[in-house]
Amino acid sequence: MIYRVSHRTSYAYGSKVDLGAHMLHLLPRAMPRQRVISAALNREPRPSDFRSGTDCFGNEVCWMFLDTPHETFEVTLEAEVDVRPPAVPEAARTPAWEDVSRAAFAGGAAHEAAEFLFDSPMVAAIPEARDYAAESFPPGRTVLEGVLDLNARIGRDFAFKGGVTTVNTPVRQVMAQRAGVCQDFSHLMIAGLRGLGLPARYVSGYIQTKPPPGQARRRGADQSHAWVACWLGPEDGWVDVDPTNGIVVADAHVVLGWGRDYGDVSPICGVILGGGKHTVAVSVDLEHVGKEDVLF
């Protein structure tokens, strides 16, 4: 599927900003199942310094510095991305989850997965999340069967409700109120999986909320979307699942990047001198524009 993405973020400040330094995770990630056809970032005002590269997780990242006083700041991503569904192993043929947990500590090829085993600033492996996840992982159950069951349970047990959480809401509060948005459900699932010794990472991107005819509309934030990737062991690698919708990620999700939690892949973060109170407006348009015939 080819998608055209437009993601605009606008800041309006109460007083002039004299200096601003920003880090952007807004460029789609190139990967075997996702080809970036084109991607451009438009910035207003124009920064005095702009650099791009990759972060420690391999995501595209940009750094920009503004030294001209300004009262507004706007960044717009315009991109076209070709997304293919990943190959997902048969759940019953994946290893037992206990074997995957042990393999994550074995070193060697598991070193990449191991960094997603431990607490991160926004995801603590609290007992409540571990115990909730454990219901999906009885002894000997295959790892993907457990992941799919947990993914479906979160979609059933937690209400998708905007305005009841913020980007800083802890997992314990989400567990207590049984409501939140995609970021909250992803953090919850990651906390539960890590509590069982299963590597899990936070994936940031977009979802096509308007499905094909005859299918239910998918739940997702108007601004962006988040989901979870869980490691199934050295043979099967990573699988992406969307606990907000209770589905396995196929070709309706566009990946920006991944990290330990939201803080690693926040679309825009930074520091400013001045500005006072400010407002932020975000709009995202993800349009399906066709199918690509050329394999990649």
Q: Answer yes or no: do 143 and 66 share one domain.
A: no
For residue 293, pLDDT beyond 70? no
Please check whether residue 256 lies inside any domain of the structure.
no
Q: Answer yes or no: do 195 and 115 share one domain.
A: yes
For residue 296, pLDDT beyond 50? no
- Domain holding 165: CATH number? 3.10.620.30
Please check whether residue 258 lies inside any domain of the structure.
no
For residue 164, pLDDT beyond 70? yes
Confidence band, pLDDT 50/70/90 cuts, at residue 292: low
For residue 219, pLDDT beyond 90? no
> How far does CA 118 lie from the centroid of its chain?
17
For residue 152, pLDDT beyond 60? yes
What percent of the chain has a predicted confidence (pLDDT) above 70? 93
What is residue 251's predicted lDDT score, i.e. its pLDDT? 93
Q: What pTM did the predictor assign?
A: 0.93
Lowest mean pLDDT among 65-79, 86-100, 206-220: 206-220
The DSSP H or E segment spanning 145 is helix 143-157
Q: Answer yes or no: do 153 and 6 share one domain.
A: no
Please check whether residue 296 lies inside any domain of the structure.
no
What is the average pLDDT across 65-69?
96
What is the average pLDDT across 52-62?
96
CB 254 within 8 A of CB 195: no
Please check whether residue 27 lies inside any domain of the structure.
yes
Nearest to 248 by CA among 144, 95, 174: 144
CB 13 within 8 A of CB 72: yes
What is residue 252's predicted lDDT score, i.e. its pLDDT? 92
Q: Answer yes or no: do 97 and 218 share one domain.
A: yes
Q: Answer yes or no: do 225 and 105 share one domain.
A: yes
For residue 245, pLDDT beyond 80? yes
Q: Provide the domain limits for residue 43.
A: 2-83+265-290
Q: Answer yes or no: do 233 and 140 share one domain.
A: yes
Confidence band, pLDDT 50/70/90 cuts, at residue 216: low
Look over the chain and give the mean of its residue pLDDT values, rounded to a whole number. 92
Neighbours of 293 (CB within 10 A): 5
pLDDT in tens, 1-52: 999 999 999 999 999 999 999 999 999 999 999 999 999 999 999 999 999 9
Lowest mean pLDDT among 37-46, 125-134, 212-221, 254-263: 212-221
CB 247 within 8 A of CB 154: no
Q: Answer yes or no: do 102 and 143 share one domain.
A: yes
CB 100 within 8 A of CB 232: yes
For residue 225, pLDDT beyond 50? yes
Please check whether residue 141 lies inside any domain of the structure.
yes
Q: Answer yes or no: do 240 and 143 share one domain.
A: yes
Please check whether residue 257 lies inside any domain of the structure.
no
For residue 158, pLDDT beyond 80? yes
Please check whether residue 101 lies inside any domain of the structure.
yes
Task: Say how many domains are in the chain.
Answer: 2
Residues belonging to the chain: 296
Alpha helices in 142-280 (DSSP H): 143-157, 171-177, 182-195
What is the average pLDDT across 136-156?
98
Q: Answer yes or no: do 77 and 112 share one domain.
A: no
| Beta partners for residue 76, in sequence order | 8, 42
For residue 224, pLDDT beyond 90? no
Q: Answer yes or no: do 49 and 72 share one domain.
A: yes
Please check whether residue 56 lies inside any domain of the structure.
yes
Q: Answer yes or no: do 100 and 229 share one domain.
A: yes
- Domain holding 6: CATH number? 2.60.40.2250
Q: Answer yes or no: do 222 and 283 share one domain.
A: no
Residues 6+ apart with CB under 8 A from 108: 234
What is the average pLDDT across 190-209?
96
